[in-house]
Chain A
Amino acid sequence: MFSKKRIELIIEKPAFKRACRVFEDSGVTGYTALPCMAGYGNGNRWQRGTDLSASRDMVMIISIVDEDLLPKITQQLENLIGAHIGVLSLADVQVIRDDRF
């Protein structure tokens, strides 16, 4: 087993493409995006699909990366969630195939 870092970014849907560009430009080998159903933050509840603009929807992006990439990508993602609604978290994970990440 090999040690890696798991990045989990929950971000408002309008900034989804910006987040994708950050991941892609930083050299990650892959990421997966999931729609978020509903949530609560800043004293407000939100729910997916409340309006047609989808501007209150949130998405989650998960990526597993090598620790060397972490400083560059977290700096960029910190900038992104400084402007947009979002939450960034990191976790230690174990993977089977080292060459995939």
Chain B
Amino acid sequence: MSLDLALSTILSPIVLFFVLGLFAALLRSQMTVPEAFAKGLAIYLMMAIGLKGGVEMSKATLGPDILILAAVAILLSFLIPFLAYNALRITSKMDRINAAATAGHYGSISIVTFVAATQALQYAGIVTSGYMVAIAALMEVPAIISALLLARRGLSKGGEVAGSEKGELFREVMLNASVVVLVGSLIIGWVTGEQGMEKISPFFVTPFQGVLCLFLLDMGLSAGRGLRQGWRDLNVGALSFGIYMPLISAAITAGICKALSMTLGDTALLITLAASASYIAVPAAMRLALPKAKPSIYLTLSLGVTFPFNLTLGIPLYILLAQWVVS
């Protein structure tokens, strides 16, 4: 049963399209998805997942268990970078600023990995809670604060960068496209409920799987290109961090889920969230807050190593881990 689940996840169309894109990029294929179209797909997916989560939330009552879960999720996002930072410094000898910026990515989340995990659970007939979308949104930002705290000691006391404006980092972090679209759609879904969703389901529900395949083909191309362009900046210690760090985060989160007596679906999703690494919100914030950190290091790791690992092997592993924890 467990092996069947793992195989069906790995051999699902979304994962196979991702692998197609990944190999196409690694083999230097000329295939591309137009940039504006890919951004449109990302917005569509975040709207769809936000709306779906909001509708599910409108059916449930928000109890103290959800508030506790929200607090735990924020804490996880805040604390994982400290662990990741020390692991990176020890295993890869990476300098303080690059290690801090990279660690921030591993505390934050990848919404696409979350969507892929939701689909894998849906294929397996495992129920998940709608409020997990809100939990995902809550885990986007705290890691950025941790990264800044970690890097602070490594920064020279230079003056302000020319053209900087008060509040620009706050705007970048709190009002970046993924947070605005995800939280906004979640609220719209919550307010309009199932009736509202019925009116837009031909656009947001029926074509969702096909659009996700198209998007993951593009993500595969991005991951492959990122890996091809940035691997020279990474040593073996750093590259292995992209694999072992998600597993450490997953193991810690599994223990927490056990303590919270969460359901199978929600356990698998929280483990996946903790094990995923950001490649949308955090890189943009890091370029403003820590411009000395190299994007070729943190983006190659989060997008080129951890994301493919999570999508192909990580998600089945996390579901199996959740099954083991819950049983």
Contacts and interface: CB of A to CB of B under 8 A. Distances in A.
Given A15-B287, A43-B232, A56 B299 contact: yes
Interface in B257-295: 279-284, 286-288, 291-292, 295
B161 A18 contact: yes
Contact of A52 (B159, B222, B287, B292): B222
B229 interface: yes
Contacts of B222: 50-52
A44 B233 CA distance: 9
B165 interface: yes
A9 to B, nearest CB: 11
Contacts of B167: none
A12 B283 CA distance: 12
Interface of B: 35, 38-39, 42, 158-159, 161-165, 168, 222, 225-226, 229-230, 232-233, 279-284, 286-288, 291-292, 295-296, 299, 303
Chain A, interface size category, equals: 20 to 34
B233 A51 contact: no
A25 to B, nearest CB: 8
Interface of A: 12, 14-15, 17-22, 25, 43-56, 76-77, 79-80, 82-85
Q: Label chain B's interface by main secondary structure.
A: helix
B44 to A, nearest CB: 13
A48 B225 CA distance: 11
B39 to A, nearest CB: 7
Contact of B225 (A47, A76, A83): A47
14 contacts: A17-B163, A18-B168, A44-B233, A51-B303, A52-B279, A53-B279, A53-B284, A55-B283, A55-B286, A56-B296, A76-B162, A83-B158, A83-B161, A85-B291
